[in-house]
Amino acid sequence: MDDLICTLALKKIKGLKNIHIFLLLKTFKNPCDIFDAGKPDFLKAGLKDEQIEILRNTRIVRTAFFEAINEIEDASKNGIKIITYNSPFYPYNLNFIRNKPIILYYKGVLKENLKFAAAVVGQRNPPDYSLNLAQNLTEQLCSSGFSIISGLAMGIDAVAHKTALKNNCYTVAYIGSGLLESVYPPENRNLYQEIILRNGAIVSEFPLYSKISAKNLIARDRLQSGSSLGTFAISSPVNGGTMKTCGFSLKQKRPVFVPEYAKELMDSKDNSGLKSLLGRNGVVALKLDKNGILDLAEVMDELRIVYNDIYEEKSDTRSSLLMQPGLFG
């Protein structure tokens, strides 16, 4: 039987969490072998009696396979691809975060082994100067060889995606609902379609018919930061959703870049969240010139360090790698 069907069936079994599924997938080379295994094998994998009983319940397993096969068929009919975490098209940086998704659903094109990506995020109703900075920053990231990650929301997210497309730059939008639900927000339907048509990707970890929810949006936030080498937070009040993404980024040992606007702007509600981040470990202040423009060259070393920490395993050659020009271009 197909590995994807078996892995997706595991995800459909209520009572099995990601941690249980990863224990099984680590023990069994082929996910389909899990369904032929006995209790001793499950105990060896580290499962408890509760999960073992679920896996040995024929009715539960049969229902899970039925749901998995139906979902794969629905995806195929609607131009949606489903991949597991060991696919070469799985966003590579996600491999290094806790509780990474076992399954991803997407429309469009996912680049193979995508590493050089940066998240550009911010509030839905930002001031004009933040929109201008988001556009300028995204242009610089694109010209430096980065792909742009964001969340398809109004405001900063939309500007990041649109600017990437305008500059023929690859962009990925992570969403908080299933791919067969209505586009959220509805104002970004055209942007959603353009990302797909321009060979970007719309990505979700949620089953096809999952509704949008606050919980799902927060879970989505960890994928924005986790699939990136760093997160650029352009504007956010203290209670803004952007702060969730920043929090995940710091937990994932990825830097958060925060613009240092003029004092009167930093003291405004629009930037109260950003101001609260300054001074924290892992947060890098971005210096702006008198026109509110930043020089991205100043932050490249931070991104190189993250890259080397992840992919060079803190080797002795890190110092020389940091000096290599065009590492991201």
pLDDT digits (tens, 9 = 90+) for 190-217: 999 999 999 999 999 999 999 999 999 9
Alpha-carbon gap, residue 307 to 230, rounded angstroms: 10
Alpha-carbon gap, residue 105 to 303, rounded angstroms: 28
Domain ranges of the chain: 3-77, 117-322
pLDDT tens-digit profile of 20-76? 999 999 999 899 999 999 999 999 999 999 999 999 999 999 999 999 999 999 999
pLDDT at residue 305, as a whole number = 84
pLDDT at residue 164, as a whole number = 99
pLDDT band, residue 318 (cuts 50/70/90):
very low
pLDDT at residue 325, as a whole number = 32
Q: Is residue 155 helix, strand or coil? A: coil
Count of Cβ atoms closer than 10 Å to residue 33 Cβ: 13
- Scan for tokens 């080797």, then name that residue: 315
pLDDT band, residue 326 (cuts 50/70/90):
very low
Query: Which CATH number fits the domain 117-322, given the four candidates 3.30.70.20, 3.40.50.450, 3.40.640.10, 3.20.20.70?
Result: 3.40.50.450
pLDDT band, residue 310 (cuts 50/70/90):
confident
Transcribe 49-107 into DSSP letters. HHHHHHHT-HHHHHHHHHHHHHHHHHHHHTT-EEEETTSTTS-GGGGGSTT--SEEEEE
pLDDT at residue 289, as a whole number = 83
Q: Which of 219, 230, 229, 295 is nearest to 260 (CA)?
A: 295
Count of Cβ atoms closer than 10 Å to residue 158 Cβ: 21
Alpha-carbon gap, residue 122 to 115, rounded angstroms: 22
Mean pLDDT, the chain, rounded, equals: 92
CB 199 within 8 Å of CB 111: no
Q: Is residue 129 helix, strand or coil? A: helix
Asked whether residue 319 carries a pLDDT value surpassing 50, the answer given is no
Q: What single letter denotes the amino acid at residue 277? A: L
pLDDT at residue 311, as a whole number = 83
Asked whether residue 314 carries a pLDDT value surpassing 50, the answer given is no
pLDDT tens-digit profile of 125-159? 999 999 999 999 999 999 999 999 999 999 999 99
Q: Which of 160, 155, 158, 202 is nearest to 181 (CA)?
A: 202
Alpha-carbon gap, residue 162 to 167, rounded angstroms: 9
pTM: 0.92
pLDDT at residue 315, as a whole number = 39
Angle ∠(82,89,23) on CA atoms, nearest 5:
70
Transcribe 11-54 into DSSP letters. HHSTT--HHHHHHHHHH-SSGGGGGG--HHHHHHHT--HHHHHH
pLDDT at residue 321, as a whole number = 30
Least confident of 72-76, 185-189, 316-320: 316-320
List b or e across 127-155, with b for residues whose CB sees 16 or more CB atoms inside 10 angstroms: eebbbbbbbbbbbbbbebebbbbbbbbeb
pLDDT at residue 298, as a whole number = 72
pLDDT at residue 317, as a whole number = 36
Read off the tokens for 136: 């300028």
pLDDT tens-digit profile of 221-264? 999 999 999 999 999 999 999 999 999 999 999 999 999 999 99
The H or E element spanning position 287 is strand 283-287
Asked whether residue 1 carries a pLDDT value surpassing 80, the answer given is no
pLDDT band, residue 316 (cuts 50/70/90):
very low
Residue % of the chain over a pLDDT of 90: 86
Q: In what order do the strands lie in the sheet with 231-233?
A: 81-84, 103-108, 201-204, 171-174, 147-150, 117-121, 231-233, 256-260, 283-287
